[in-house]
Amino acid sequence: MAYEVTLIPGDGIGPEITEAACRVIDASGVDIDWQKAEAGAEVMAHFGTPLPDHVLESIRRTRVALKGPITTPVGSGFRSVNVSLRKTLDLYVNLRPAVSMPGVKSRYEDIDLVIVRENTEDLYAGVEHTVGKDAAESIKIITRSASERVARFAFEYARREGRRKVTAVHKANILKLSDGLFLEAVGDVAKDYEDIEFEDRIVDNMCMQLVQKPELYDVMVLPNLYGDIVSDLCAGLVGGLGVAPGANIGDDMAVFEPVHGSAPKYAGKNQADPTATILSAVLMLKHLGEEEAAERVTAAVRKVVAAGERVTYDLGGSAGTSEMADAIIEEMGQGQPK
């Protein structure tokens, strides 16, 4: 069976690492028909937007996309393409696993955490305005419906993956209405999952506990802003954003992408670590129901990284992006890479 998948290479290091990921996935034996669609700063001049309609149309048709990082200007310029994709396509879950990997430098071992981040509202709704010349206001939007559906995803994920506990993370002690509503909604959903332990933590305490005793936690469900921050903290526990995969999932569509940025100063140098993009593609394989291929790719990545030889500089090696992909392909037993 062939799957049509929209491929958004992105900019900066995006084209190199997505090419590496596509080669690895192709070598896994899963038949993917990659439908390339360009987005980001480089298409602005031609289309007048970093997210042309044809990109959205492609994702709506294929229902699955693999995306490289896209540069977002700081303080000015166009709004984040990532945020626009999530809101436009109603990709209301940002799924970010953080799993320790032998060969990746970290002060921690045996980390196995999953962040389930609400992806469409909170301060990321972008409702803000200035008040005179010297003040600005941003509106934090939390709704029961959005909170309930991301919570249900978290519990369903925990049950499906054999996880033991879901922790709701919030600041309801201070933000009694908005975060209070989030906590109440997640608690209501938890009642339908008596087989899964449920608890809640205040976000600042959660950050401290993740550093001190991460083994106590499993799946965490958070509003948008806290999810963004805590997921980077969890990535730090396992060695950084270079090994942190991500997925944006809705009821009908999903976009898989690495967590890290576009690193434009490294563009075209064949130095960027493709691990996070390859592991994001693994999440895509699981989403497509290709569990066996996903496991083989994961095992090959872990073996190559643990060996520490044919890996990129950030992992202690001297291989380039494409050479690391070659090593992973060979580890899967596919012979010489195409």
* Structure-token pair, residue 126: 């972008």
Residue type, 225: L
d(CA 53, CA 282): 27
d(CA 222, CA 57): 30
- Confirm whether 232 is a catalytic residue: no
> Which contiguous run of DSSP H or E holds residue 190?
helix 178-190
Instruction: Assign 1 to helix, strand or coil.
Output: coil
Buried b (16+ CB within 10 A) or exposed e, 200-224: bbbbeebbeebeeebeebbbbbbbb
Candidates 88, 43, 80, 61; CA nearest to 6 is 61
- Confirm whether 195 is a catalytic residue: no
d(CA 135, CA 198): 40
Tell me how crowded residue 48 is: count the other CB atoms within 10 A of its CB. Answer: 8
Instruction: Assign 59 to helix, strand or coil.
Output: helix
The helix/strand count (H/E) of the chain reads as 11, 12
> Which contiguous run of DSSP H or E holds residue 15?
helix 14-27
- 324 contacts 276 by C-beta, under 8 angstroms: no
| Identified catalytic residue from 31, 204, 251, 252 | 204
| Identified catalytic residue from 92, 124, 157, 226 | 124
Residue owning tokens 């958004």: 8
| Identified catalytic residue from 171, 179, 217, 326 | 171
- 238 contacts 206 by C-beta, under 8 angstroms: no
H-type alpha helices, 243-338: 275-287, 291-307, 321-331
Instruction: Assign 39 to helix, strand or coil.
Output: coil
| Identified catalytic residue from 11, 179, 228, 326 | 228
* Structure-token pair, residue 271: 């130095």
Catalytic residues: 124, 171, 204, 228
